[in-house]
Amino acid sequence: MLFSDSHILSTILFTPMVGAILMLFIPRERPDLHRWMGNIFGILGLLVSLPLLWRFNSAMNAPRFQFVTDSLWIRSIGAHFTLGIDGLSFLLVMLTTVLGPIAILSSWSAIQKREKEYYILLLLLQTGMLGVFMSLDFVLFYVFWEVMLVPMYFLIAVWGSERRLYAAIKFFLYTLAGSVLMLLAILAIYYYRGTFDIREILMHPFTAQYGWLQKWLFWGFFFAFAIKVPMFPFHTWLPDAHTEAPTAGSVILAGVLLKMGTYGFLRFSVPMFPDATVKYRWIIIVLSLIGIVYGALVCMMQKDMKRLIAYSSVSHMGFCTLGIFALTPLGLSGSIIQQINHGISTGALFLIVGVLYERRHTRLISEFGGLSTPMPNFAAVYLIVTLSSLGMPLLNGFIGEFTILRGVFEVSWQWAAWGVLGVILGAAYLLWLYQRVMFGNITNPANEHLPDLNAREYATLLPLVALAFWIGIYPKPLFDVLDKPVHELVERVHPGYYSAPALTPRAAAEAEAPISMALPAKVPLAKAPLVPSSTSSPAEVR
């Protein structure tokens, strides 16, 4: 194995942090130097992650986790510093390293106070998020999961708009509420398994034989992820946080932070508690559907552009959870691709609001109108982004939503029908927003001479537009990467799903019930002691 293979993840993880530490030593009186440092390390973070693109092996027979680094961290409690990625985390890591520099670049002129702390916190946030997606040890995962709350709190609280303090602490407390319960679930897992190694626990899931335990653990994890996604009715922190955060904060929040929730579902909830997942999935599906429709309806009523996009996130992330808990190959891979799409499209939408906000210092829709005349190029980019977000064919959103809906349709056409309603409403509110902001006559004289996009704004938006087209036209590489993780997930919840030959979608839906009923009859795992050995754990303490 090449040297870089075992260290590439550590490099990606710590590059932003190194930048943050270096910036500590630059005096705060030199804001431009901080801007440069922030951007350089943002770009550097992207550059060091690029080798993953051709080094990552997406073949079915490749090892499940690649580029694994494993070293002992805290011997007394058996925690390791373990990093590794599979197809799922690979895509999310790439999304993070792409959105990171874009968010940093977008702040160049928007942030005009306390630049030093701002860029340090953004870089630390980047490390925290990457750590969440890379960790293969529960303690490490949890540390990153919580650490990243602190910089985000400050981004909202210091550089946000009027109600920023309220929004920041609300964000912090909501997400923390879920995560502390997850901490207990993690400790309980250790109690039964004697390890924090995620790979080990993935290999021996908590199946139906664990009775109430697997159910409690499932719910322990559920709240952490449901709040993060956020699923209806845990979503109320999101509109506040999004609206009050600075542009870069919103981009990161929507683009990456929300994906931690869905990542958690895919990495922990579904494969570790497959039977509980199957048992309770109807609850999550119902919540997702409510989220899709409710989020879209609420969007219609918003007066604030950022708030509208925030609620659209509730709707779009509802699609992602819907796809996950359809538990079909198409639903799962569609969901993951939709997560990437949401990062790209919603990230771009927030950038667009940021562009307008920098020019007019307002986000109220009624303040705008007819902007396509003074800002034609902006209008074009905004249109592409809008279409990508509402799922226009040839653009990325279509691929994700279509795949999810097909996957869901295999299970139940009613669910898919509600989902389609969400797509229609999505088109309605996004286009209506576009119409109110861009078309018509210029009603407000302040809008008459708005400058069009400048080079820096092009640099933030065009990469996202290019990605939107690429995923929309040729998504095969993404599906290839996801093949293996999705295959494993489906095999876990529906053993024998793939080996049943020539199963038409309809037959699969019909066959589903008996399969899930047959689950409890599985052979007990030899390596999974049901009764905790209380004698062994104190021995490890010593």
Q: Which of residues 28-47 bind another protein (CB under 8 A)?
A: 28
Tell whether residue 188 is a contact of another protein (CB under 8 A). yes
Shortest distance in whole angstroms from residue 77 CB to another protein: 7
Kindly give, in sequence order, each residue whose CB lies less than 8 Å from that of residue 517, ignoring residues fewer than 6 positions away.
none
Whole-number Å distance between alpha carbons of 364 and 306: 9
User: Would you state the structure tokens that stand for residue 330, as one six-digit string?
Assistant: 């198409």
d(CA 79, CA 22) in angstroms, rounded, equals 29
Residue 188 Cβ vs another protein, minimum distance, rounded to whole Å? 6
Q: Residues 74, 203, 394, 500: which binds another protein (CB under 8 A)?
A: 74
- Inter-residue contact 158 to 114 (CB < 8 Å): yes
State yes or no: residue 153 binds another protein (CB under 8 A).
Answer: yes
Give which of 308, 309, 310, 316 is closest to 338, Cα–Cα: 316
- Contacts of 192 by beta carbon, 8 Å cutoff, 6+ apart: 206, 210, 213, 528, 529, 530, 532
Q: How far is the CB of 127 from another protein (least distance, A)?
A: 11
Q: Does 190 sit near another protein (CB under 8 A)?
A: yes
Q: Does 184 bind another protein (CB under 8 A)?
A: yes
Chosen residue from 2, 62, 63, 191 binding another protein by CB under 8 A? 191
Closer residue to another protein in complex, CB, 139/408:
139
Of 401-460, binders to another protein (CB under 8 A) are none
Q: Looking at 2, 21, 47, 77, which residue binds another protein (CB under 8 A)?
A: 77
Q: C-alpha angle 53/58/62, rounded to 5°?
A: 125
Of 18, 22, 177, 383, the one binding another protein (CB under 8 A) is: 177
Amino acid (one-letter) located at 203: M
The helix/strand/coil state of 112 is coil
- Burial class from Cβ neighbours inside 10 Å (0-12, 13-18, 19+) for residue 340 reads buried
Strands 66-74 and 79-85: antiparallel
User: Pick from 324, 345, 342: which is nearest to 334 by CA?
Assistant: 324
The single residue among 8, 91, 125, 157 that binds another protein, judged by CB under 8 A, is 157
The residues, ordered by sequence, that sit 6+ positions from 538 with a Cβ below 8 Å of its Cβ are none
Q: Which stretch binds another protein (CB under 8 A): 51-59, 168-176, 226-234, 251-259?
A: 168-176
Kindly indicate which of the ranges 163-171, 343-351, 419-427, 478-486 contains the residues binding another protein, using the contact rule CB under 8 A.
163-171
Task: Specify the residue, 86 or 115, whose C-beta has the smaller distance to another protein.
Answer: 115
Select the span of 104-112, 164-172, 243-251, 420-428 touching another protein (CB under 8 A).
164-172
> Least Å distance between CB 296 and another protein?
31
507 binds another protein (CB under 8 A): no
Write down the least CB distance from residue 120 to another protein, Å. 10
Q: How many CB atoms lie within 10 A of CB 165?
A: 14
Closer CB to another protein, residue 121 or residue 136? 121
Does residue 27 bind another protein (CB under 8 A)? no
Contact between residue 375 and residue 461 where contact means Cβ atoms under 8 Å apart: no
User: Can you tell me the distance from the alpha carbon of 83 to that of 249, in angstroms, rounded to the nearest whole number?
Assistant: 26
The answer for residues whose C-beta is within 8 angstroms of residue 99's C-beta and 6 or more apart is 251, 252, 255, 256, 343, 347
What is the widest separation between alpha-carbon atoms in the chain?
A: 77
Binding-site residue total for another protein (CB under 8 A)? 41
Q: What's the length of the chain?
A: 542
Q: Among residue numbers 122 through 151, which ones bind another protein (CB under 8 A)?
A: 139, 142-143, 146-147, 149-150
Q: Is 22 in the site for another protein (CB under 8 A)?
A: no
Q: What is the C-alpha to C-alpha distance for residues 452 and 449, in angstroms, rounded to an integer? A: 9
Q: Does 508 bind another protein (CB under 8 A)?
A: no
- Residue closer to another protein (CB basis): 185 or 292: 185
Could you tell me if 388 and 397 are in contact, meaning their C-beta atoms sit under 8 angstroms apart? Answer: yes
Are 315 and 429 spatial neighbours (Cβ–Cβ below 8 Å)? no
State the nearest-atom distance from the C-beta of 157 to another protein, in Å: 5
Distance of closest approach, residue 205 Cβ to another protein, in angstroms: 20
DSSP state at residue 77: G
DSSP secondary structure letters along 510-527: HHHHHHHHHGGGSPPPTT
Between residues 501 and 538, which has the closer beta carbon with respect to another protein? 538
Closest approach of Cβ 538 to another protein, in Å?
A: 4
Options 30-38, 73-81, 242-250, 506-514: segment touching another protein (CB under 8 A): 73-81
Tell me which of 34, 80, 164, 242 binds another protein, using CB under 8 A.
Answer: 164
Which residue, 24 or 502, has its beta carbon nearer to another protein?
24
Query: Which residues bind to another protein, rule: CB under 8 A?
Result: 28, 73-77, 114, 117, 139, 142-143, 146-147, 149-150, 153-154, 157-158, 164-165, 168-169, 172-173, 176-177, 180-181, 183-184, 187-188, 190-191, 532, 534, 537-538, 541-542
